[in-house]
């Protein structure tokens, strides 16, 4: 099979994938726990690839903003790690959970220390700590995403944040539960507000592929400054690969073979270290909460290009 | 830091690592559940790197045979996958377990389907299926290891196998438990005998680095024939990265950043896809059952050479 | 109330038990999660027996008010059952939990339905429902205790309630968690306020032995009116016997052989159906949260009098 | 044995219950894991009551032998307790399990010590210990049942025992699992053979009501000799009440209010301490493994006679 018509561009690959996805009828179902997500059309599809220098290729709805949801966990992790370094790992683990993303079971057996920063409990700890460091966790995140994407129009959808809060009992339970073990420092309602706002940032595939670039550049931001050490950037990639797609991380590693992170808004970001970053969006989810078309598109991408880490 | 005195050889890297390890006093404790392992000196240390063409570099006790134990789970997985392909995945999962390697808890919640092929329950399923395919699971493994390493002297230590069997109640429980769900086809005592014999193969770092080569060569054996498809080889690497070091897989990915598999005999194998394979041996284990010096040596290797997949 | 001196009196039994307890040095440790409880002297000891007609016998600190804590779970259960009957059992189970009293694990596996009304999760459901029925759960409880004990001075210690609230993250987690399953009807903060106030009622052994009388009288209150049907009264006794002392219910049934309920304030109530009710208080707790001297005293009582249900 | 016709007789109660049961269409389904049990007609129904002096009343199939299954756990517990006293409780607990009868989960969290003697794991420990004490656990049981029932014809159905063994992987797993913790003393295959033979004793409602008599007589056997101390007899009753009907013990206590034990052969025995013993048989089971008509019949018995312990 001829892989790419030109070694200089990913465009033909994206076009081919979009064509294949267009012929796939089964797209799963959008998340239905809040109205704003349930209303999404599962046939929307966008995909973007950003090269290290900021060149972006895209197809379909790649410029359409969508609800980032858990994708932001990658950025808050990096932003806190940049400030706290290994101190963070005393409060959240780095192991796959083997349980659904919002389970309390493992949390109880491990005395309030979440297994990893990408399950909800772990992300609450990261947000709590970033908020203590900065006084404005959601704002710090938004500033970072704007800077990396070059898109000053990125914003929090406050209606979505309010809707998340109104359906937030499970996350409130997680927050109070960890607080009972002394692993949360801010008042739980304050933490929840920061957390739900951070989940409600809207951005496009293009924005997010660009914003993820520092993980392919071994820690270097778009402006050339260093956010993470090389070692820390590798660590974030490792955590993404082992824990980034809920309790289907093994399946994702097996099929896609890249560090990746999914969100219930239908977005998936992925990293080819030293080469490029990707973001796919399609709102229909599988039973694990991962975008059906998103994972399929990434699977096709690594198969066609051979760009798996394995 | 100057990384390698010559781009053509890993020898200086190995020498430097061995020197560093030699100055590290804390080596953990050998496995103590059977006498043959408990008697090992935790200060023994060997390391080998095999390039794709079979060139091997080594340091320390790199030619000393040791008890492979769970390292063989990688090879039986590949040998069965080569025969059964995706049929295997209906009987064993590919997700990290989040529980100790010999736990029955998750097995019960998932109706006798083990989480992955590298926990004991999963390896028993793989051995059971390979035995049904070949009529001689342990012999098939031994033939493969001899062929790939070029060492016809490789053998099963029958005393160790007998000792494993005498202390095998936990594995017997796993076997009967899965049999109660219909997920074991051979009589449990037959299966256990094959399993304990396979764990009791003895080989050196040099042998094992060579035998792992097919995973760096995308499925191609030492003689140039194909064992696994490219996709299957990547899949085995993905399962190693996410599940290869018991409930410390996240930690291993984070520190080492390579697909790897450890055994309680103190061995660790690792793969740099497209580049080389490694085997380290040092019998002292940490609380997760991974070789203390072995993991440290691999951590140093990827740091010095930059050869992490991330 | 007259203390009888006839040969039919329980007084000599109580005196003998108090003398034995006085010579027992090991009393456990008071609950230490809030200052008000931690300050209690573990050598305090009181015990009262109330006959069906309201005659009360007592020894030691039997007239000393103490923090009732989980003892009130028995009364709120009865008060809600009197209003809702079997409707209640669709929202809380009747099975022993086999887990600590504040565990979230079992709750998760059973979709937000607590195992029984005496673990904290179950008591929260009962309080939530009683509050919906009455508009004032804590007030309804207090009125009942005053009426049955004939002691209008019974009151809620608001300082203790505030202290419970300040250390209430675990209960907040339970409340939000069940709310996420739709099993809580009031706003969680409102529910928690009612719950902590109800736990903070102070009463003496005499008060509580009298207030428990309806369970020995097969549902009949002190004034002769019926609170529960005979069948319901037996059901409450059954739940007390199987679930009344946290994860030591089997041990309590084995040693004492009576329906009983303990609280972390050091109180224990028990029922001899058709004969009498008991309350013991001593603040030192064992590792399960049950009063050391309290359980010992009840064990001695049933041994001396032969009044076990078995 | 004489069937009384005096006003003190239980006969009219049994006749009334049998008539009611006869009009109840839903009988559940027989156990189907072995052919011998699956073949039972769920409309068979027998019930017997034995008074303390050995007078027996019966109705329906009360003289029909059936497979005792887990009912024998009560007798082996008593027989070992008579020999070992409290030593036994260091190897098996007395707490309800909150999990299905053959779960391995709790066993793992508690290091090989089963929660109570009536889940399969606990019964295996009791049988193992009784076998060590007597050299013939199943024979000791059979001798006891023959003596108490006065029926020398009681026997083990060896076909059923062989069938149990052929489907015994789950129990084999439990046995090996506890052996891995050092909590089994005999070779696991020997233990399993004893266990399956003991489960395969066949006896009638009349036989079993009589054989249970020692628990209503506070430890005294049919011949007037003492098997258990009064305290031990109460303890066995307490364990029956809290743990006797798998994970429906709370439900049974709530509905029936008597110490009881069920078996998957459809039998249920129950004790009214100081008054009488009962045995009901009907092969149709509910989802917890308890006889549907058996539990209903006992529920009706305590309601009609008022003989609940509560």
Identify the pLDDT of residue B309: 93
D64, D44 Cβ separation under 8 angstroms: yes
Instruction: Name the maximum alpha-carbon separation found in chain A.
Output: 58
Average model confidence (pLDDT) across chain D: 93
Identify the pLDDT of residue D292: 97
Per residue in D104-146, pLDDT (tens digit) is: 666 766 789 998 999 999 999 999 999 999 999 999 999 999 9
Interatomic CA distance for residues C131 and C120, integer angstroms: 16
- Give the residue-averaged pLDDT of B170-191: 95
Identify the pLDDT of residue B237: 97
- The closest alpha carbon to A196, from A225, A226, A220, A166, belongs to A166
Choice among A170-179, B221-230, C243-252, D61-70 with the minimum mean pLDDT: C243-252
Q: Which two tokens stand for residue C291?
A: 């009063």
**Do C179 and A169 count as a contact with CB atoms less than 8 A apart?**
yes
B176, B105 Cβ separation under 8 angstroms: no
Element (H, E) at A192: helix A188-199
Question: Which one of C94, C106, C273 has the shortest CB-CB distance to D98?
Answer: C106
pTM for this one? Answer: 0.90
Question: Which one of C103, C109, C176 has the shortest CB-CB distance to A173?
Answer: C176
**Do D97 and C95 count as a contact with CB atoms less than 8 A apart?**
no
Backbone angles phi, psi at C277, to 5 degrees: -130, 155
Cα of D232 to nearest chain C Cα, Å? 9
Average model confidence (pLDDT) across chain C: 93
Backbone angles phi, psi at A206, to 5 degrees: -60, -50
Identify the pLDDT of residue A110: 77
Identify the pLDDT of residue B307: 92
Interatomic CA distance for residues D241 and A304, integer angstroms: 65
Structural domains of chain D, count: 1
Average model confidence (pLDDT) across chain B: 92
pLDDT class of D1 with cuts at 50, 70, 90: very low
D294, D267 Cβ separation under 8 angstroms: yes
Instruction: Give the sign of the dihedral formed by CA B64, CA B66, CA B71, CA B73.
Output: positive
How many angstroms from the chain centroid is the CA of residue C26? 23
- The closest alpha carbon to C66, from C97, C39, C99, belongs to C39
- Give SS3 for D254: helix
Query: Does the annotation count C254 as an active-site position?
Result: no
pLDDT class of C246 with cuts at 50, 70, 90: confident
A79, A130 Cβ separation under 8 angstroms: yes
Partners of residue A310 in chain B, C-beta under 8 Å: 233-234, 237-238, 241, 259, 273, 309
A101, A247 Cβ separation under 8 angstroms: yes
Query: Does the annotation count D264 as an active-site position?
Result: yes
**Do A310 and B310 count as a contact with CB atoms less than 8 A apart?**
no
Partners of residue A93 in chain B, C-beta under 8 Å: 250
Identify the pLDDT of residue D5: 37
Q: For tokens 């006498």, what's the residue?
A: B35
Q: Which two tokens stand for residue D310?
A: 């509560």
Taking any CB pair shorter than 8 Å as contact, residues of chain C touching chain D are: 93-99, 106, 115-116, 231, 233-235, 237-239, 241-243, 247-251, 253-254, 257, 259, 273, 303, 308-310
Identify the pLDDT of residue A5: 36
Q: Which two tokens stand for residue A300?
A: 């096709």
pLDDT class of A6 with cuts at 50, 70, 90: very low
Q: Closest residue of D to C94, CA-based?
A: D250
The reply, when asked if residue A95 is annotated as ligand binding, is no
Cα of D104 to nearest chain B Cα, Å? 7
Q: For tokens 């690594």, what's the residue?
A: A302
Interatomic CA distance for residues D193 and D162, integer angstroms: 9
Cα of D152 to nearest chain C Cα, Å? 30
Other C-beta atoms closer than 10 Å to the C-beta of C41 total 12
Query: Does the annotation count D234 as an active-site position?
Result: no
Q: For tokens 């929260």, what's the residue?
A: C124
**Do C253 and D233 count as a contact with CB atoms less than 8 A apart?**
no
**Do A173 and C174 count as a contact with CB atoms less than 8 A apart?**
yes
Q: Which of C246, C256, C268, C280 is catalytic?
A: C246
A269, A278 Cβ separation under 8 angstroms: yes
Average model confidence (pLDDT) across chain A: 93
Helices (H), A152-291: 158-166, 169-180, 188-199, 205-211, 213-216, 230-243, 249-255
B214, B48 Cβ separation under 8 angstroms: no
Identify the pLDDT of residue A225: 98
Taking any CB pair shorter than 8 Å as contact, residues of chain A touching chain B are: 93-99, 106, 115-116, 231, 233-235, 237-239, 241-243, 247-251, 253-254, 257, 259, 273, 303, 308-310
- Give the residue-averaged pLDDT of A163-185: 94
**Do D172 and B176 count as a contact with CB atoms less than 8 A apart?**
yes
Report yes or no on A140 lying in a domain: yes
Q: What's the half-sphere exposure (Cβ side, CA atoms, 13 Å) at B216?
A: 26
**Do A173 and C169 count as a contact with CB atoms less than 8 A apart?**
no
- Give the residue-averaged pLDDT of B32-47: 92
**Do A247 and B95 count as a contact with CB atoms less than 8 A apart?**
yes
Choice among A211-220, B186-195, C23-32 with the minimum mean pLDDT: C23-32
Taking any CB pair shorter than 8 Å as contact, residues of chain B touching chain D are: 103-105, 107-109, 169-170, 172-177, 179-180, 188
Position A282 pLDDT exceeds 80 = yes
- Give SS3 for C291: strand
Question: Which one of D234, D253, D254 has the shortest CB-CB distance to C257?
Answer: D234
Mutate to test the interface with C, among A164, A176, A177, A178 (most CBs of C within 10 A): A176
| A291 DSSP assignment | B
Contacts of C273 (CB under 8 A, 6+ apart): C215, C216, C218, C234, C237, C259, C309, D309, D310
| C90 DSSP assignment | G
Identify the pLDDT of residue C8: 64
pLDDT class of A24 with cuts at 50, 70, 90: confident
**Do C95 and D310 count as a contact with CB atoms less than 8 A apart?**
no
Choice among C257-266, D4-13, D46-55 with the minimum mean pLDDT: D4-13
Mutate to test the interface with C, among A34, A101, A108, A187 (most CBs of C within 10 A): A108
Report yes or no on B5 lying in a domain: no
Choice among A17-26, A181-190, B73-82, D244-253 with the minimum mean pLDDT: D244-253
Partners of residue B192 in chain D, C-beta under 8 Å: none
Interatomic CA distance for residues B92 and B183, integer angstroms: 9
ipTM, two decimals, is 0.89
Per residue in D280-301, pLDDT (tens digit) is: 999 999 999 999 999 999 999 9
Cα of C36 to nearest chain D Cα, Å? 31
* Chains touching A by CB (3 or more pairs below 8 Å): B, C
Question: Which one of C105, C108, C169 has the shortest CB-CB distance to A176?
Answer: C169
Contacts of C31 (CB under 8 A, 6+ apart): C37, C38, C264, C265, C266, C283, C285, C289
Strand arrangement of the beta sheet that strand B276-281 belongs to: B56-60, B46-51, B276-281, B267-272, B260-262
Per residue in C134-188, pLDDT (tens digit) is: 999 999 999 999 999 999 999 999 999 999 999 999 999 999 999 999 999 999 9
| A289 DSSP assignment | S
Helices (H), C212-266: 213-216, 230-243, 249-255
Instruction: Identify the domain containing residue D37 by its residue range.
Output: 11-305
pLDDT class of B240 with cuts at 50, 70, 90: very high
**Do A177 and C169 count as a contact with CB atoms less than 8 A apart?**
yes
Report yes or no on C266 lying in a domain: yes
Report yes or no on A1 lying in a domain: no
Q: Which two tokens stand for residue B51?
A: 């390039």
C-alpha distances out from residue C251 to A95, A286, C94, C118, D96, Å = 38, 47, 18, 16, 10
Q: Which of D246, D271, D272, D292 is catalytic?
A: D246
Position C80 pLDDT exceeds 60 = yes
Instruction: Give the sign of the dihedral formed by CA D178, CA D184, CA D190, CA D195.
Output: negative
Position C105 pLDDT exceeds 90 = no
Choice among A5-19, B170-184, C119-133 with the minimum mean pLDDT: A5-19
**Do C105 and A103 count as a contact with CB atoms less than 8 A apart?**
no
Q: Which two tokens stand for residue B72?
A: 């063989």
Binding positions of B for substrate: 70, 120, 164, 171, 195, 246, 264
Q: Percent of chain A beyond pLDDT 90?
A: 85
- The closest alpha carbon to C207, from C43, C23, C71, belongs to C71
Per residue in D149-193, pLDDT (tens digit) is: 999 999 999 999 999 999 999 999 999 999 999 999 999 999 999
Other C-beta atoms closer than 10 Å to the C-beta of C24 total 14
Choice among A283-287, C273-277, D1-5 with the minimum mean pLDDT: D1-5
Interatomic CA distance for residues A179 and A160, integer angstroms: 25
Identify the pLDDT of residue C2: 36
Report yes or no on D2 lying in a domain: no
Q: Give the CATH number for residue A156.
A: 3.40.710.10
A273, A215 Cβ separation under 8 angstroms: yes
Cα of D290 to nearest chain C Cα, Å? 15
Identify the pLDDT of residue A108: 66
The reply, when asked if residue D246 is annotated as ligand binding, is yes
**Do A310 and B309 count as a contact with CB atoms less than 8 A apart?**
yes
Q: Percent of chain B beyond pLDDT 90?
A: 84
Position B24 pLDDT exceeds 90 = no
Mutate to test the interface with A, among B98, B233, B252 (most CBs of A within 10 A): B98
Cα of A170 to nearest chain B Cα, Å? 22
Element (H, E) at C46: strand C46-51
Do β-strands A46-51 and A276-281 pair in parallel, antiparallel, or remain unpaired? Answer: antiparallel
Interatomic CA distance for residues A148 and D132, integer angstroms: 73
Report yes or no on D132 lying in a domain: yes
Q: Which two tokens stand for residue C133?
A: 């029925």
Active-site positions of A read: 70, 73, 195, 246, 264
Per residue in B97-146, pLDDT (tens digit) is: 766 555 666 676 678 999 899 999 999 999 999 999 999 999 999 999 99
Interatomic CA distance for residues A44 and A30, integer angstroms: 11
Per residue in C181-212, pLDDT (tens digit) is: 999 999 999 999 999 999 999 999 999 999 99
Identify the pLDDT of residue A208: 98
Question: Which one of B108, B169, B179 has the shortest CB-CB distance to D105?
Answer: B108
- The closest alpha carbon to D82, from D211, D228, D224, belongs to D228
Q: First vs last Cα of chain A: how many Å apart?
A: 20
Backbone angles phi, psi at C269, to 5 degrees: -110, 155
Identify the pLDDT of residue B246: 80
Q: Closest residue of C to A184, CA-based?
A: C169
C-alpha distances out from residue B218 to A275, A310, B213, B232, B274, Å = 20, 9, 9, 8, 7
Position D7 pLDDT exceeds 60 = no
B265, B69 Cβ separation under 8 angstroms: yes
Q: Which two tokens stand for residue D205?
A: 């409602």
Per residue in D188-224, pLDDT (tens digit) is: 999 999 999 999 999 999 999 999 999 999 999 999 9
Interatomic CA distance for residues B215 and B209, integer angstroms: 10
Identify the pLDDT of residue D9: 86
Cα of A88 to nearest chain C Cα, Å? 22
Vertex D177: Cα angle to D175 and D183 (nearest 5):
75
**Do C310 and D273 count as a contact with CB atoms less than 8 A apart?**
yes
Partners of residue C175 in chain A, C-beta under 8 Å: 173
pLDDT class of B36 with cuts at 50, 70, 90: confident
Report yes or no on A2 lying in a domain: no
Report yes or no on A121 lying in a domain: yes
- Give SS3 for B159: helix
DSSP per-residue codes, D218-239? TTB-TTS-BSS-HHHHHHHHHH
Position D6 pLDDT exceeds 80 = no
Interatomic CA distance for residues C223 and C146, integer angstroms: 12
C251, D94 Cβ separation under 8 angstroms: yes
- Give SS3 for A128: helix
Identify the pLDDT of residue C143: 98
Q: Which of D13, D49, D67, D70 is catalytic?
A: D70
pLDDT class of C108 with cuts at 50, 70, 90: low
Q: Which two tokens stand for residue B256?
A: 């080492």
């Amino acid at each position: 099979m001829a892989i790419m018509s030109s070694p200089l561009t990913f465009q033909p690959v994206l076009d081919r994938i979009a064509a294949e996805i267009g012929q796939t009828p089964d797209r799963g179902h959008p998340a239905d726990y809040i109205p704003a997500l349930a209303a999404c059309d599962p046939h929307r599809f966008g995909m973007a690839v950003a090269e290290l220098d900021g060149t972006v290729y895209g197809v379909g709805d790649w410029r359409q903003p969508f609800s980032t949801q858990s994708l932001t966990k990658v950025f808050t992790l990096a932003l806190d790690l940049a400030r706290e370094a290994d101190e963070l790992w005393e409060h959240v683990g780095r192991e796959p959970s083997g349980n659904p993303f919002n389970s309390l079971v493992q949390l109880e057996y491990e005395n309030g220390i979440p297994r990893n920063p990408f399950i909800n409990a772990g992300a609450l700890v990261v947000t709590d700590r970033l908020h203590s460091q900065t006084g404005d966790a959601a704002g710090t995140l938004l500033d970072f995403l704007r800077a990396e994407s070059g898109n000053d129009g990125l914003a929090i959808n406050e209606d979505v944040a309010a809707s998340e809060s109104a359906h937030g009992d499970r996350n409130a339970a997680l927050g109070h539960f960890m607080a009972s073990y002394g692993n949360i420092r801010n008042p739980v309602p304050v933490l929840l507000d920061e957390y739900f706002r951070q989940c409600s940032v809207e951005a496009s595939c293009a924005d997010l592929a660009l914003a993820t670039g520092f993980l392919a550049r071994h820690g270097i931001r778009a402006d050339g400054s260093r956010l993470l050490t090389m070692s820390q950037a590798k660590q974030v990639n490792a955590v993404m690969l082992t824990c980034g797609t809920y309790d289907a991380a093994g399946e994702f590693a097996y099929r896609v073979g890249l560090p990746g992170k999914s969100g219930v808004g239908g977005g998936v970001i992925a990293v080819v270290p030293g080469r490029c970053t990707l973001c796919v969006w399609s709102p229909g989810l599988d039973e694990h909460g991962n975008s059906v078309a998103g994972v399929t598109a990434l699977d096709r991408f690594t198969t066609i290009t051979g760009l798996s880490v394995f």
